[in-house]
Amino acid sequence: MKQFTSVADVPNVSNLIEDVLRIKGTQDREFGKHKNLTMLFFNPSLRTRMSTQKAAQNLGMDVSVLDSGQGWKLETEPGAIMNGDAQEHICDAIKVMSSYTDVLAVRSFPTLTDKEADYNETLLKAVIASSQVPVLSLESATRHPLQSLTDMATIVESGIRKPKIAVTWAPHPKCLPQAVVNSFLEWSAFLDADVWLTHPPGYELDAPFTQHATVTHNQLEALEDADFVYCKNWSSVTHYGQRLEGYDDWMVDTMKMSRTKQGKFMHCLPVRRNVVATDAVIDSSIVYEQAANRVWAAQAVLQQLLKA
């Protein structure tokens, strides 16, 4: 695998999911010995940062971590006249960084104001264009492939055959990206699963992401007999990046979960308790198992990238 930025980069999705579960709990410190992983963050992260670092260490890799914006600001605009705050252009920084490392990982978020730039993945493409080594996405403007690989492995690990998966929008006080849900829908098309997507009017996703799902504005219809409830907020695509008023009653609670087939509640975390879902739902969920699986997904991907 030459890069890992979306499911389209993966030659065999089922094999990669199996890899995640096969290597779970293992280390191979010889595999990545004398190799370096560099992680560049344009946005904060707890799970992606720690799990990818742990995965690299399990393979014996050294890890370098840089946070852009904390005293070191990168210009990302092509052709920019750099007379502002940014000291260095991303094209120069990435060329230099990739000469020091074996895998370059980058976490960026969407602007949520410029849909064209976000959906063109301008920043990620700039990184790929300047990197001399494989690029690993730690979440981009429109996708979060490491999260989705983890989610698929967690679902397969449950052993439930042909599951019904209800992907539901939930309320949130801030405008959030569409990356997690976009990516989940792309990856879940490779599972033998019945995928439903439910959200209030105005929260439609871009059509290419929803083509394999049954879409409804009726949350209870989607949750009915579901084996998994995948819950996530995202901001509007049609009113790009906006938070539409209302819909607080879309929070997932035990009454809604009782409509499922003893459904397992999933969320990528971080989660706003008693806004997105109630304490009772989160406390009886599989979100911590899901988060723990982030290590094994990252480890499987790093192994593939080091083989490239």
> Measured from the CB atom, is 86 or 276 closer to ligand CP?
276
Q: How far is the CB of 243 from ligand CP (least distance, A)?
A: 19
The reply to whether 290 sits near ligand CP by the rule CB under 6 A is no
The number of residues in the chain equals: 308
Among 2, 33, 46, 113, binds ligand CP (CB under 6 A): 46
Among 97, 268, 271, 295, binds ligand CP (CB under 6 A): 268
The reply to whether 48 sits near ligand CP by the rule CB under 6 A is yes
Tell me which stretch binds ligand CP (CB under 6 A): 71-79, 221-229, 243-251, 268-276: 268-276
| Interaction mask 121-140, ligand CP, x per CB under 6 A | ------------------x-
Please report, for residues 1, 62, 103, 144, 284, the alpha-carbon distance to residue 110 in angstroms, rounded to integers and kept in the order given: 25, 29, 23, 12, 32
Per CB under 6 A, contacts with ligand CP among 143-202 are: 147
Helices (H), 42-114: 47-58, 90-100
Amino acid type, 271: V
Please report, for residues 230, 238, 244, 285, 299, the alpha-carbon distance to residue 233 in angstroms, rounded to integers and kept in the order given: 10, 15, 12, 17, 27
The reply to whether 45 sits near ligand CP by the rule CB under 6 A is yes
Among 3, 10, 38, 47, binds ligand CP (CB under 6 A): 47
Phi first, then psi: what are they for 89, rounded to 5°? -85, 145
Beta strands in 191-252 (DSSP E): 194-198, 214-216, 228-232
Where does this chain bind ligand CP (CB under 6 A)? 45-48, 139, 147, 268-270
